[in-house]
Chain A
Amino acid sequence: MQEREPLLVMSDIHKAFPGVQALSGVHFRLFPGEIHALMGENGAGKSTLIKVLTGVYPADRGEIRLEGRVIQPHSPLEAQMLGISTVYQEVNLCPNLSVAENILIGREPRRFGRIRWKAMNEEARRLLEERLHLRIDVTRPLGSYSVAIQQLVAIARALNISAKVLILDEPTSSLDRGEVEQLFSVMRKLREDGLAILFVTHFLDQVYEVSDRITVLRNGRLIGEHLTENLPRLELVSQMIGKELKELEELPKEESRVADWAEKTLEAVGVGRKGSVEPFDLGIGKGEIVGMAGLLGSGRTEAARLLFGADRADQGRFVMSGEDTVIHSPRQAIDKGIAFCSENRKTEGIIDELSVRENIIAALQASQGWFRALSRKRQEELADEYIRALNIYPPNPEIPVKNLSGGNQQKVLLARWLLTHPKLLILDEPTRGIDVGAKAEIQKLILSLAREGMSVLFISSELEEVLRISHRIAVMRDRRKVSEIAGEDISRERVMKAIAGG
């Protein structure tokens, strides 16, 4: 393996943004027929390296060679024509176009210049089904599907381009186990066909499962390139974080205090919405963490949205501290002490032009109203506090949030809601795209908040995570709540069984 010529070589790449040196002197090699994991903390420069490679940003310095020849793509289009196919970190597709178009636009089947819609839909359907085992109506607009589906569509698009290099920037961040398996088998097949695959993820398991080689970045610098088999986990983590770290997995599992949870923060009784979620009952106790598990599209997100009033429930009622309440809008929910951190950070989360500070205080300020404005000083204090607590990088509250790396944006959203000190915190995929270190920190934070009496509804496609921190797990299947598993009963097998339906 070692002796082969690398397919792609990036040498001495530098890239600076105003105020941040995102990449400094990075070298990177990619061999044909290998899966190469690019690792690093949030904001390490992974996505930036990929964007430099594909011509989204020009490099300040450095050289890129593909098959020995110097290339200088000026746009993703040129990169594609050179044989580099990319799935970028945020879902970068067009929500207004149909799924089929999103997969095939630019390469539609045509006859005499006329797009053959039937053939196109057919091809898209086939692609999704054969490669990713996903069966959906490909003529519907992409925007009507959940983030996970959108991510799969983006992957399908990239897979369909006959390329020499395939780049996947956190493609699995909101996929569940089954989908990830599916993706991996496709990736392995492509590897056999001689493709070079660059893969970014924060899931260590996944790295060790598929990758052949690992490159680690830290603060925009190259830390090292290793064959996967030669790099033990702990070593990888300490390379990423820059300091020794004890095994992350050993979070103190909460000894259950079931008795306390009799006092419910919020009870949903027969709450449902036609066409999205069947009526369900769910009560969340004070200080309790309720996990929600289920497959892709099982309706977890939609159930959570009902609890927050983001969509209006057309059946059932809510009870808060023993009294019936209405939750018709996010506004009302917030006033009652409910917070909701959406899975879709790009369109429903960050307010991209505004600064990190403004994004952090947005919800708190909204609940205080127009005239009780937080003073600038107070805002800065709060922002600084949470930037430190969540380790947001770069720690500058005044830069526009859109300039933050994906993981750091996610932390900003978390900060926004933590700041409101809600009674009930609904977290939909809160650790999406967050690095290992930070993930552990956030889990610890959630546990300690629960200990202080906050109720949490925790949704994640990473089952391990749900198992680890939940006191009780609600399982969704086909837009119905099918079971509830609590306390001692929680185990991987039981939950899996409930999810699969049996």
Chain B
Amino acid sequence: MERIRKHHLFWPVLVLVALLVFNLLYDPDFFRIQVRDGKLYGNLIDILFFGSPLALVAIGMTLVIATRGIDLSVGSVVAISAAIACFTISKGADQNDPGLVATAILLALAASALLGLWNGFLVTRVGIQPIVATLILMVTGRGIAQLITSGQIITVISPNYKVIGAGTLLWLPVSVYIAALVFALAALLTRKTALGLFIESVGCNPTASRLAGIRSVTVRLFAYLFCGFCAGLAGIILSSNVSSADGNNAGLWYELDAILAVVIGGTSLNGGRFFLTGTLLGVLIIQTLTTTIYSTGVPPEVNLVVKALVVLAVCLIQSEGFRRTLARSLVSVRPSHQRVEGKVTTRG
């Protein structure tokens, strides 16, 4: 029991379970999953389905944050990738031509990876602070996306393209498989090769890492590139889901949600240790919260207040200091004050 409680994922899991239980109490049907037209249909599936693009972005973001960076441009990359894919398809004679769709996807992904590389270049080679370097693309990127779409929403009619974001494979949405695949890829890359160690060490202490011979430039470049790639994939899923590309709104505020997910998952914004599974849990928490808000009919004007309170609760409950205060005030043995404890908190 003690071991479980000490596990870094214990509290995120608890929060997620609490949210789900709340839903179950509110609506006993919440967990019901039906099979409809050969696919599973239900709230839980929706959470996975709508969570998958965010999960993709957050996975990429985790690596960037682990290197002590941040990527604010993901939302814009989502929009650009969506725009490129839809624009390419819309220019085709036969929008449903598999070759065309594949070309469109490859183009979009290549562009996204390139944009990620550009961010990495600014950060590592030019030495611009990550937040500013990626802010540039965040601003410019929306413009580029709109330039591609001429400010319009490009609608495509391409069942083949639609499969990616709205299709079903073995009862589950295709996008869920894509997210799972990328997650597995990231986990494999970071845990089976030495990349994870390098990323963590660069994020923890860049100087020491350089002196230990770790190619910190390459490592960080890779992180940004991967993040761009993930955002691009998310853009394809999002646009394919609604069969259209909206340069202005696609992926709007994604950067905040993605960073939030990463932080809830236990990765520190100061770089170093990162937790991909934690990030995934963070995404599920955020998406479950969103779904909860929609399905319980919280009035839109208080949505944000609810979100704020939940976010606060999530991070307070993860704080050992708060739990101690809470326990103390519940038991109310004797009010004693907080102790200064240096940087001794261990993450198991």
Contacts and interface: CB of A to CB of B under 8 A. Distances in A.
A350 interface: yes
A347 B205 contact: yes
Contact of B213 (A330, A353, A358, A371): A330
Nearest to B342: A56
A349 to B, nearest CB: 6
Contacts of A333: 213
A400 B197 contact: no
Interface in A332-388: 333-335, 340, 342, 347-354, 358, 361-363, 365-374
A362 B214 contact: yes
Interface string B263-278: 0000000001100000
A371 B193 contact: yes
B244 to A, nearest CB: 39
A41 B273 CA distance: 31
B197 A352 contact: no
B201 A362 contact: yes
Given A17-B344, A56-B340, A350 B205 contact: yes
Contact of A358 (B201, B340, B344): B201
B200 A354 contact: yes
Contact of A349 (B194, B200, B208): B208
B198 A351 contact: no
Nearest to A345: B208
19 contacts: A51-B342, A75-B340, A330-B210, A335-B213, A348-B207, A350-B208, A351-B204, A351-B208, A353-B200, A358-B200, A363-B212, A365-B197, A366-B194, A366-B214, A370-B193, A370-B195, A373-B193, A373-B194, A403-B346
A416 B212 contact: yes
Contacts of A224: none
A418 B340 CA distance: 37
A128 to B, nearest CB: 27
A317 interface: no
A106 interface: no
A62 interface: no
Nearest to A338: B213
Given A348-B207, A353-B204, A354-B204, A334 B340 contact: no
A353 B211 contact: no
Contacts of B211: 308, 310, 330, 340, 342, 348-349
Contact of A57 (B204, B210, B337, B342): B342
B341 interface: yes
A60 B210 CA distance: 39
B273 A353 contact: yes
Closest 9 CB pairs of A and B: A334-B213, A366-B213, A353-B272, A373-B194, A75-B340, A366-B214, A58-B339, A363-B212, A362-B212
Contacts of B209: 351, 362
A372 B207 CA distance: 23
Interface in B172-200: 192-195, 197-198, 200
A197 B198 CA distance: 43
A116 interface: no
A278 B254 CA distance: 53
B323 interface: no
Question: Interface size bucket, B side?
Answer: 20 to 34
Contacts of A18: 346
B215 interface: yes
A363 B192 CA distance: 18
B343 interface: yes
Nearest to B271: A353
B272 to A, nearest CB: 4
Chain B's interface: helix, strand, loop or mixed, by majority? loop
B194 A331 contact: no
Contacts of A361: 197
A74 B339 contact: yes
Nearest to A333: B213
A453 interface: no
A284 B85 CA distance: 61
A348 B342 contact: no
Given A74-B340, A368-B194, A352 B213 contact: no
Interface string A35-61: 000000000000000010001111000
A344 to B, nearest CB: 9
Contacts of B273: 353-354
A361 B201 CA distance: 12
Interface string B315-348: 0000000000000000000000101111110100
A402 interface: yes
B214 A352 contact: no
Interface string A5-31: 000000000000110000000000000
A56 B344 CA distance: 10
B209 to A, nearest CB: 7
Contacts of A74: 337, 339-340
A95 B198 CA distance: 26
Given A57-B341, A373-B192, A374-B194, A352 B210 contact: no
Contact of A403 (B214, B339, B344): B344
B124 to A, nearest CB: 14
Contacts of A366: 194, 198, 212-215
Interface in A384-426: 399-400, 402-403, 416
Contacts of A330: 210-213
A367 B342 CA distance: 34
Nearest to B222: A370
Nearest to B189: A370
Contacts of B346: 18, 399-400, 403
A365 B198 CA distance: 9
Contacts of A331: 213, 215
A432 B73 CA distance: 45
Contacts of B343: 402
Contacts of B194: 365-366, 368-374
Nearest to A372: B194
A230 to B, nearest CB: 37
B213 A370 contact: no
Contacts of A371: 193-194
A347 B213 contact: no
Contacts of B341: 56-58
Contacts of A76: 340
Nearest to A374: B194
A358 B197 contact: yes
Given A348-B208, A352-B205, A353-B204, 11 more contacts: A58-B341, A74-B340, A335-B213, A342-B211, A348-B207, A350-B208, A365-B198, A366-B212, A366-B213, A373-B194, A374-B194
